[in-house]
Amino acid sequence: MKHEYYMLKAIEQAKIAYENGDVPVGAVVVYEEKIIGIGYNQREISNSVDSHAEIVAMNDAAKHLNTWNLEGCTLYVTLEPCPMCAGAIMQSHLDTVVFGAYEPKSGSYGSVFDLNDIKGFNHYPNVVKGVLEMENKELIQIFFKERREEEIAVKRVNSDLWEQYLAVRTKVFVEEQNVSIEEEIDEYDSLERDDVRHVVAMYKGKAVGASRYIMDGDSVKVGRVAVLKEFRGKSVGSKMMRYIERQAENTGYKYLKLGAQLQAIPFYEKSGYKSYGPVFDDAGIDHKMMKKEIKKR
């Protein structure tokens, strides 16, 4: 029960990191059954390499004791310490480390390696593993699930996304640029065609970007690249272009081509496209052809 009590206190700290947008890891240092140090992960909010919860809590405890030597103290942390923190724990002479969830990518007390198994150091803490493991693991999982949902996800359009995909194109080209709906939606706009792929950028379940590409000989022709106004400047268009380029490369095409509106040429040039040929009219808007060679990685 004692371990669980103090681990719950560490979880309270982890939730502060969660609210700040940092990976939710929290820690407390206990001495003579009193909490003398608290800390939560602050790496993102402080732009600090070493602001992990363990180190913040240990520094707090050291100030309380007026010494770096934390002999007689126990550290409770919600996630298995990384090598940096495990090294700091060893240097601080902490008696005991109690952690919650295992960290399969950087855990230093059994998951990736066990620092206590390496001979030659002058101090080794006792380690208690897996206290309130599921509670701590769930907090981490929820955090990363929410983060993934907040990221722009680019994917191929299916029937479930078709209406949202067309709505983005209609908003940008028809409503903003006054292209007629008959010109915007053409014979290539069908999920049944084998020579066309439609691409959508999603944010929290909502379509915010759209594009398509037509496969023709050794080339892929990109077109109808549209991003909702409120999402411009957030790399949505760049992510769609990278997605299309990967698909073209993976299926053996040599070139990417597109007809760019003149004001969009600098955007495509940043992605490696080069313009060629004369200016031409498409739906009442001046365009110029651009091309990029696909280089195998």
Structure confidence by residue, pLDDT tens digits, 105-135: 999 999 999 999 999 999 999 999 999 999 9
Distance CA 104, CA 2 (A): 26
Q: CATH number of 1-148: 3.40.50.620, 3.40.190.10, 3.30.1490.20, 3.40.140.10?
A: 3.40.140.10
CATH tag, 157-293: 3.40.630.30
Q: For residue 270, give every residue at least 6 positions away whose Cβ sits within 8 Å of its Cβ, in sequence order, or none.
A: 238
Tokens, residue 276 = 């060629």
Angle at 87 between CA 83 and CA 88, to 5 degrees: 120
The pLDDT tens digits for 247-265 are 998 889 999 999 999 999 9
pLDDT, position 1? 65
Please tell me the distance from the alpha carbon of residue 41 to that of residue 15, in angstroms, as a whole number.
Answer: 10
The verdict on whether 54 is a catalytic residue reads yes
What percent of the chain has a predicted confidence (pLDDT) above 90? 86
CA 253 to CA 247: how far, in whole Å? 9
Specify the pLDDT at position 47. 85
What six digits make up the tokens of 80? Answer: 């298995």
Three-state helix/strand/coil letters over 83-110 = HHHHHHHHHHCCCEEEEEECCCCCCCEC
Q: Active site residue: 19, 54, 149, 187, which one?
A: 54
Crossing angle of helices 2-20 and 53-65, in 10° steps, is 120
Per DSSP, 52 falls in state -
Summarize pLDDT for 51-87 with one digit per residue, the tens: 999 999 999 999 999 999 999 999 999 999 999 999 9
Mode of pairing for the β-strands spanning 96-101 and 126-128: parallel
Contacts for 144 with CB less than 8 Å, ≥ 6 apart: none
pTM score of the predicted model: 0.59
149 pLDDT above the threshold of 80: no
Write out the two tokens for 100.
């919650």
Instruction: For 17-114, list the strands marked E by DSSP.
Output: 26-31, 34-40, 73-79, 96-101
Above pLDDT 70, what percent of the chain?
Answer: 99
Q: What is the pLDDT of residue 297?
A: 59
Average pLDDT, the chain: 94
Q: What is the pLDDT of residues 198-226, one digit of tens each?
A: 999 999 889 999 999 999 999 999 999 99
- What are the sequence ranges of the domains in the chain? 1-148, 157-293
Residue the block writes with tokens 């309130």: 132
